Structure 1
Amino acid sequence: MTQTVTTEDVQRVAELASLELTSEEETRMVRDLNAILGYVQHMNELNTANIEPMAQVGELAGHEALRPDDVATSLRRDAVMAGAPETDGVFFKVPKVIER
């Protein structure tokens, strides 16, 4: 398999995501991403001519959903906000994390 993701690609994505990666992490990301792309390429080579397309795995005949989709009560807003370090009563207030 030829390498399709480069260190420059990883650095650019890390910059866009405001991530700081060490050189070891960059090397590992290049290796891992290329391994994933290689696996996807392998999957693309499989013969799926007789396989019906589906949008959800739950569409498989004879299979039930992973869990029932039951309505349940959630936490009360006033109880949750009481434990928040800073709130306006409706939303959590958080410090700004994007600096550019």
Structure 2
Amino acid sequence: MSINPEQVANTAKLAKLKINADEATEVAERITAILDLVDQMQAVDTKQVEPMANALDAVQRLRIDQANPSENAQARRAAFQTIAPATDQGLYLVPKVID
């Protein structure tokens, strides 16, 4: 599969990006090289290859997920709350981000 400079220029126009002809040609060549690599990878026969999540095939030893309250948790929380911009009843107040 190949991308031509006109397609790059059209995509840039739709994205409201300013691109000249030389840049469009260079970008088209780079995208074409990437798509050629993807085509090569898709051509590989992987029917006999077992799917894997990790190339090292290692299993992580995980600790038990449990709360470990510390003796000075309340003091630490109070210290952090004093430097927070805004708190209410022990909770941190943050500005609204999403309407």
Q: Which has the higher contact order (CA 8 A, sep 6+)?
A: 2
How many Å apart are 1:46 and its aligned residue? 1.0
Query: In the alignment, which residue of structure 2 is the partner of 1:90?
Result: 95
State the alpha-carbon separation in 1 of the partners of residues 58 and 26 from structure 2: 41
**1:44-95 C-alpha deviation (Å, 9 max, x unpaired):** 11121122346xx45963155xxxxxxxxxxx995xxxxxxxxxx9379xxx
May I ask how many residue pairs the two structures share in their alignment? 68
For the residue of structure 1 that corresponds to 2:95, the secondary structure is coil
Q: Is the 8 A contact 2:8 2:24 kept in 1?
A: yes
Q: Which whole-Å CA distance do the structure 2 matches of 1:77 and 1:16 have between them? A: 44
**Match of residue 69 from structure 2:** none
Relative to the length of structure 1, the TM-score reads 0.51
Q: Superposition RMSD on alpha carbons, in Å?
A: 3.2
Question: How far does residue 16 in structure 1 lie from its aligned partner after superposition?
Answer: 1.5
After superposition, where does 1:1-100 map in structure 2 within 5 Å? 4-53=2-51, 57=53, 61-62=57-58, 78=85, 90=95
Unmatched runs of 5 consecutive residues or more in structure 1: 65-75, 79-88, 93-100
List, as ranges, runs of 4+ consecutive aligned residues in structure 1 with deviation greater than 6 Å.
Answer: none
One-letter code aligned to 1:37:
L
Bigger radius of gyration among the two: 2
